[in-house]
């Protein structure tokens, strides 16, 4: 079925990997797709593939870290397709290193692409969607945002993406706009970068399972569709055979109260009330149910 028939969608970083997989599936699902990438050849190749399979797609070469370039991309989508119904904030950059060895330029570039560029896309897209009083945004975060050694800057940037998702979902709901996030897993260029860096340090490949980039696209298809009209502010994790919702940050109960807190009082609480409640590092899996 064409679950996205008539909808116009921009996918950033769609020249390869998860973005390309989304472009192919959304095109088959009836969406008119803007295939964005900084690589002209890659963007046009994916757009041509969508068209060859009966879909509608155009290639848009734009660096999302340019505010004006993103504005032009959104304007072109509306000009050619009549609306902007979906934005998939997929473009990202990963550079691995220990925090004491991270280079300044690498840190700045990761924040520029993963946080600022993503912000520019949402800023321009949300203005159009507010005018339409409808739309759906899917932000691609990462399971790394719960904490990941050797990729702390990337993880922090993806943590910002998760927080953006919660915040924008609350801000834009009044305009009929939904914002959700995807935590993907894929055999992609980023996976190659990760394993290459680990090999350079004499480490084994990342232990996470290698799954096809295509396995992530159906989640994006669903979140952009009208079938997900009641889904807002959620982070959905997919790892091939497993699908899960992430919990939102929250205070653990009970919250302790007293007139004031000094060292001894705090020390006593960590020895008693908090002793069994310190949180595990990284992603915690509660249970797995086979369907």
What are the catalytic residues?
A: 154
Q: What's the first-to-final CA gap in the chain, in angstroms?
A: 23
Return phi, psi of residue 211, to 5°.
-130, 160
Query: By C-alpha distance, which of 184, 179, 182 is closest to 166?
Result: 179
Cβ atoms within 10 Å of 281's Cβ, excluding its own: 10
Place of tokens 């834009």: 172
CA–CA gap between residue 168 and residue 87 (Å, rounded)? 13
């Amino acid at each position: 079925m064409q679950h996205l028939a008539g909808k116009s969608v921009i996918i950033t970083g769609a020249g390869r990997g998860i973005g390309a997989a989304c472009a192919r599936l959304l095109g088959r699902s009836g969406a008119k797709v803007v295939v964005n990438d900084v690589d002209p050849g890659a963007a046009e190749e994916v757009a041509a593939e969508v068209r060859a399979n009966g879909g509608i797609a155009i290639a848009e070469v734009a660096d999302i870290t340019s505010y004006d370039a993103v504005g032009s991309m959104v304007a072109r989508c509306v000009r050619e397709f009549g609306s902007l119904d979906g934005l998939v904030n997929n473009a990202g950059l990963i550079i691995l290193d220990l925090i004491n060895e991270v280079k300044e330029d690498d840190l700045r570039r990761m924040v520029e692409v993963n946080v600022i560029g993503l912000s520019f896309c949402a800023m321009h897209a949300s203005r159009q969607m507010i005018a339409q009083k409808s739309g759906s945004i899917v932000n691609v975060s990462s399971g790394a945002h719960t904490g990941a050694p050797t990729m702390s800057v990337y993880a922090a940037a993806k943590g910002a993406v998760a927080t953006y998702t919660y915040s924008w979902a609350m801000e834009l709901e009044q305009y009929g706009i939904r914002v959700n996030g995807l935590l993907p897993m894929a055999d992609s260029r980023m996976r190659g970068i990760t394993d290459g860096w680990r090999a350079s340090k004499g480490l084994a490949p990342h232990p996470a399972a290698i799954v096809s980039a295509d396995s992530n696209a159906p989640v994006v298809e669903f979140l952009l569709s009208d079938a997900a009209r009641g889904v807002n502010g959620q982070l959905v994790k997919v790892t091939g055979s497993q699908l899960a919702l992430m919990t939102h940050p929250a205070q653990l109960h009970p919250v302790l109260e007293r007139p004031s807190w000094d060292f001894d009082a705090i020390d006593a609480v960590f020895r008693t009330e908090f002793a069994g409640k310190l949180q595990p590092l990284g992603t915690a899996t509660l249970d797995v149910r086979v369907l």
